[in-house]
């Protein structure tokens, strides 16, 4: 079996790492293609190091651009790579531009596509990621879902049962494996915090592109920082928005982008997490850490229905929600299949699907 993995942005790498290891154990031939969608070393290369992923075999180096331009560049540069290798499968991860671009190219070349993290929906088409999810799932030959509700979503959309495989959450494979190294990193201790921190990440346009909205978020964080450490590793795009709008941060502690292990060390001991990231909603549920997602919707509803996640559409409400934790933390449970073996089930699903179509 020969598989080409397509990765291009930080959320892809923790999903790729355990799948690559599981395929190594199965003695499959693998080719890693890094599209270069995240091209800054702090946003990309460091994750390869932290997660033990081999250097990419191919780097398309597409860099930053509009959604249309970036997707077009990936397609143009990826087509000859897939045409040359003619793999058995192209594996795409998540919902970034690299994912939908690779699905389009592979499908038109007649190469089978498997989508890791299929079936997630926010039902908000103002999010570019939602468009990427829908298109990728329509094109994929094998839909590898992280939760039972995602499988049901695909069935409602008309996908046949033999193209859907519930495998569980591969992100949690990486989290469970990395926890000891994260705790040993000493990163949280190096910050010399006065207590368990509130950890913040924000990057979505709905939160950072409108100065009024961003100011409301930061106002809440400034208030919370008067009584507890608030640590905010800042995405370069978010920092630029803060600077250009002249928004103050008070005693909120801003950090440069940090590696996966450092972030995990912060999160696993956090008082709470405030985010608009999909991955952190899952990681906090797995760790039992309260999470407040500054969005009106989520493509990961199982983190709300079963986990520790709460949607906070209006950032003004953040202060009350976080302070309510002083009276007790929310009870949650770890969803089915979030057990560290999702990558093994992905290999099994690919094997069965390949055998069934020979």
**For residue 247, what is the domain's CATH number?**
3.40.50.2000
Compute the radius of gyration of the chain from its Cα atoms. Answer: 20
Q: Which residues are catalytic?
A: 203
Domain range for 35 is: 2-169+338-356
Classify residue 332: in a domain, yes or no.
Answer: no
Other C-beta atoms closer than 10 Å to the C-beta of 106 total 26
Cα–Cα distance for residue pair 220/324, rounded to 1 Å: 14
Q: What is the pLDDT of residues 317-332, one digit of tens each?
A: 999 999 999 988 878 9
Instruction: Give yes or no for residue 40 having a pLDDT over 80.
Output: no
pLDDT-above-70 percentage for the chain: 98
Q: What is the pLDDT of residues 63-120, one digit of tens each?
A: 888 999 999 999 999 999 999 999 999 999 999 999 999 999 999 999 999 999 999 9
Same-domain pairing of 201 and 295:
yes
Same-domain pairing of 216 and 349:
no
Q: Find out whether 12 and 96 touch, Cβ atoms under 8 Å.
A: yes
Cα–Cα distance for residue pair 280/21, rounded to 1 Å: 23
Q: Which two tokens stand for residue 331?
A: 């009870």
Classify residue 17: in a domain, yes or no.
Answer: yes
Classify residue 179: in a domain, yes or no.
Answer: no
Cα–Cα distance for residue pair 114/134, rounded to 1 Å: 14
What are the phi and psi torsion angles at 180 (to 5°)? -60, -40
Q: What is the pLDDT of residues 177-234, one digit of tens each?
A: 999 999 999 999 999 999 999 999 999 999 999 999 999 999 999 999 999 999 999 9
Mean pLDDT score across all residues of the chain: 95
Burial class (CB in 10 A: 0-12, 13-18, 19+), 356: exposed
pLDDT number for residue 90: 98
Instruction: Give yes or no for residue 34 having a pLDDT over 90.
Output: yes
Same-domain pairing of 148 and 13:
yes
pTM of the complete model? 0.94
Nearest to 234 by CA among 259, 217, 258, 265: 258
Q: What is the pLDDT of residues 149-185, one digit of tens each?
A: 999 999 999 999 999 999 999 999 999 999 999 999 9
Same-domain pairing of 295 and 351:
no
Same-domain pairing of 29 and 152:
yes
Instruction: Give yes or no for residue 358 having a pLDDT over 70.
Output: no
Same-domain pairing of 323 and 342:
no
Q: Find out whether 343 and 173 touch, Cβ atoms under 8 Å.
A: yes
Instruction: Give yes or no for residue 45 having a pLDDT over 80.
Output: no
Same-domain pairing of 131 and 263:
no
pLDDT-above-90 percentage for the chain: 89
Q: Find out whether 144 and 117 touch, Cβ atoms under 8 Å.
A: yes
Q: Which two tokens stand for residue 281?
A: 């909603």
Same-domain pairing of 192 and 310:
yes
Same-domain pairing of 164 and 20:
yes
Same-domain pairing of 224 and 94:
no
Same-domain pairing of 148 and 220:
no
Cα–Cα distance for residue pair 245/134, rounded to 1 Å: 34
Q: Find all residues with CB under 8 Å of 314, minimum gap 6, and list them.
A: 216
Q: Which residue has the tokens 């999160």?
A: 267
Q: Which two tokens stand for residue 125?
A: 């088409």
pLDDT number for residue 10: 86
Same-domain pairing of 162 and 16:
yes
Work out how many domains the chain is built from and give that number.
2
């Amino acid at each position: 079996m020969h598989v080409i993995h397509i990765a291009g942005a930080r959320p892809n790498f923790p999903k790729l790492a355990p799948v690559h290891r599981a395929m190594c154990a199965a003695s499959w031939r693998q080719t890693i293609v890094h599209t270069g969608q995240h091209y800054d070393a702090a946003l990309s290369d460091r994750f390869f190091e932290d997660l033990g992923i081999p250097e990419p075999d191919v780097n398309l180096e597409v860099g930053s651009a509009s959604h249309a331009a970036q997707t077009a560049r990936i397609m143009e540069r990826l087509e000859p790579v897939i045409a040359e290798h003619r793999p058995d499968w192209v594996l795409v991860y998540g919902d970034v531009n690299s994912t939908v671009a690779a699905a389009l190219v592979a499908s038109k070349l007649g190469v089978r596509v498997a989508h890791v993290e299929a079936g997630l929906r926010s039902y908000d088409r103002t999010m570019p990621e939602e468009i990427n999810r829908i298109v990728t799932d329509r094109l994929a030959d094998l839909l590898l879902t992280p939760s039972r509700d995602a499988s049901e979503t695909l069935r409602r959309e008309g996908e046949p049962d033999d193209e859907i495989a519930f495998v569980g959450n591969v992100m949690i494979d990486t989290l469970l494996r990395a926890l000891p190294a994260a705790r040993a990193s000493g990163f949280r201790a190096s910050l010399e915090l006065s207590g368990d921190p509130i950890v913040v990440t924000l990057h979505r346009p709905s939160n950072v592109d409108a100065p009024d909205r961003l100011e409301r978020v930061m106002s809440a964080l400034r208030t919370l920082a008067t009584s507890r450490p608030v640590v905010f590793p800042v995405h370069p795009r978010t920092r630029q928005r803060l600077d250009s709008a002249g928004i103050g941060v008070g005693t909120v502690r801003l950090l440069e982008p940090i590696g996966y292990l450092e972030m995990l060390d912060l999160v696993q001991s956090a008082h709470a997490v405030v985010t608009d990231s999909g991955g952190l909603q899952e990681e906090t549920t797995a760790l039992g850490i309260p999470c407040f997602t500054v969005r009106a919707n989520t493509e990961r509803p199982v983190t709300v229905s079963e986990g520790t996640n709460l949607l906070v559409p209006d950032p003004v409400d953040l202060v009350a929600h976080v302070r309510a934790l002083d009276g007790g933390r929310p009870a949650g449970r770890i969803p089915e299949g979030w057990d560290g073996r999702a990558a093994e089930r992905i290999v099994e699903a690919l094997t069965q699907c390949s055998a069934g179509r020979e």
